[in-house]
Chains A and B, each alone.
Chain A
Amino acid sequence: MLKKILVAFDGSQQSNKAFDFALDMSGLCAGAISELIVISVVQPPEPADIVEVDAIIDSATQHYEELFKELKEKAKEKGMAIKTEVLVGHPADQIVRYAKDQNCDVIVLGRKGKSRVERWLLGSVSKRVSSYASCTVIIVK
């Protein structure tokens, strides 16, 4: 039974689609879903300088908190409340870790994020999450 849905959100068009999908899914399973959680992951540069790391975490957190407001409004229109959190680290690792720690039943994420260069250098986050997550993963196109 689906109790907790985790949405990985990076502000991209695809992640917005993923959120909308998760919201629709929650509506269909009304009464069953106890929690819809949205997380965003801030990835510091490497190798890093302490001042820059803090600056990036600071501004990214502020940026995502602003985006979360829109998501909360969307959820409110459908009579739902969402939990949001900003994590720090490698995106795929943090998503998988968070899902495991919070006992999420399904992870929903977009197929591709924002940057082609990042995908080329680091590999696809959605592929990595789907390979290593212990729960169901839904990749939204």
Chain B
Amino acid sequence: MHEVWGIAALWLGLALIATLLSIWFRIATALSEIVVGTVAQLVIGALIGTTLGSDQSWIKFLSGTGAIVLTFLAGAELDPVVFKVKLKEASAIGFISFLAPFLGCTAAAYYLLHWTVQASWLAGVALSTTSVAVVYAVMLELGLNKTDFGKAVLAACFVTDLGTVLSLGLIFAPFTFRTLIFVGAGAVIFFILPYLTPWFFKKYGDRPSELEAKYLLLFLFGLGSLAVWSDSEAVLPAYIIGMVLAGTVGKDHVLIRRLRTLTFGLLTPFYFIRAGSYVSVPALIAAPAAILVLFLSKIITKIAGVYPATKAFDYAQKEGVYTTLLMSTGLTFGSISALFGLTHNIISQEQYSVLVFVVIGSAVVPTLIANAFFIPKYLLPKKAERYETTD
């Protein structure tokens, strides 16, 4: 038992280092945890010749729970009122934003990199997602989150991520009787939850015993178990539960804060450090071409897919903004998809390393481009001033 506590202390130590790095360099905690996991595995492997313990069952459990709860919280960020109002635009643009890179990156992996069919589909899924956070942060910065355009864009991001989660959950699962049970049970629970949850919380909630957290975890674990039993992925029902409860649980800031404490404080470090520990640095060094091919496929297919769609909805001035933002990949769903592929033997460790690197790269690079692109107008020298001469 002392080894378990020792490993737990090591992992929490790494999580602490990652958190400090994220504070100092102002980067996402997820990113710093992935990098710390990669470096730690490299160093410990070189020094002691052992692993971080990523395959231990209790680490897998904490890691899996981190992915599930984080995905639930991501789904709960949806604004259902705006989503209903902008349903047509959000669905169209979001779906195309998912479909174009999904098909494009799958084709690139299959035809250019000669990956297997399943591995290529997995690459397509991992690179189809969009970082809602990048869009959200820039919208907040420019004040566009209050405009119809901004609201539609944000809603579209959720549709894109829903496409990613659905394809991850359904493409690799064989369609059997178990799938029918999972889908059927899921549909019933998704329908009942928005009505049952507020009633139940009002009647029994708001006590120190944290009934709300236990209630949510019951459904997340229950449906997650059904999902895995039917060879699907546990984050699929978690995201949908988050979306259907976005109008109730999502608006309860106190509950969301408590769930975030649980998630960031204990669970997600295990997920992202574990994800990082499987990245092979030698594999990355050996495959620069694969990284470039997948990265460019992602960027080009996003732009090619989204640009005509935004034109169709008459976003004349802003589609440049939009396509830049939507280029960015979500770290959460991208890494969840890649890790799913590795743990289900769909992709090799080398392919996993390449995918994670591209997911990170296609989260970082568009953010840098968006920062450069969004230099506010007052920071650019006026045209007349540029050509002034002094006598």
Chain A residues near B (Cβ < 8 Å): 43-55, 57-58, 88-90, 93-94, 96-97, 100, 115, 117-118, 121-122, 132, 134
Interface size on B, residues (CB 8 A): 38
Secondary structure type dominating chain A contacts? helix
Least CB separation from A53: chain B residue: B133
Of A48, A93, A94, A96, the residue contacting B133 (CB under 8 A) is A48
A45-B28, A117-B24 known; A55 vs B260 contact (CB < 8 Å) = yes
A51-B70, A52-B264, A54-B77 known; A100 vs B378 contact (CB < 8 Å) = yes
Least CB separation from B370: chain A residue: A46
Complex CA gap A88/B264 in Å reads: 22
Least CB separation from A51: chain B residue: B73
Of A53, A88, A96, the residue contacting B378 (CB under 8 A) is A96
A45:B22 contact, CB within 8 angstroms: yes
A50:B22 contact, CB within 8 angstroms: no
Least CB distance from B142 to A in Å reads 8
5 A-B residue pairs with Cβ-Cβ distance under 8 Å, sorted by A, are A48-B134, A54-B136, A58-B257, A90-B141, A122-B26
A47-B363, A47-B367 known; A132 vs B379 contact (CB < 8 Å) = yes
Of A45, A96, A132, the residue contacting B26 (CB under 8 A) is A45
Complex CA gap A87/B107 in Å reads: 43
Least CB distance from A133 to B in Å reads 9
B141:A115 contact, CB within 8 angstroms: no
Least CB distance from A11 to B in Å reads 14
Least CB distance from B158 to A in Å reads 9
Q: Which of B120-128, B172-180, B306-314, B326-334 contacts A (4 or more CB under 8 A)?
A: B326-334
Least CB distance from B95 to A in Å reads 19
Residues from chain B with Cβ under 8 Å of A52 in the complex: 28-30, 133, 264
Residues from chain B with Cβ under 8 Å of A43 in the complex: 26
Tell me whether B31 is interfacial, beta carbon within 8 Å: yes
A46:B28 contact, CB within 8 angstroms: yes
Sorted nearest first, the 6 A-B pairs with minimum C-beta distance are A89-B141, A48-B133, A47-B363, A50-B133, A50-B132, A88-B140
Least CB distance from A100 to B in Å reads 6
B133:A89 contact, CB within 8 angstroms: no
A50:B74 contact, CB within 8 angstroms: yes
A88:B141 contact, CB within 8 angstroms: yes
A47:B263 contact, CB within 8 angstroms: no
Least CB distance from A112 to B in Å reads 16
A47:B133 contact, CB within 8 angstroms: yes
Residues from chain B with Cβ under 8 Å of A97 in the complex: 376, 378
B379:A49 contact, CB within 8 angstroms: no
B24:A115 contact, CB within 8 angstroms: yes
Residues from chain A with Cβ under 8 Å of B22 in the complex: 45
Tell me whether B137 is interfacial, beta carbon within 8 Å: yes
Of B31, B74, B253, B332, the residue contacting A58 (CB under 8 A) is B253
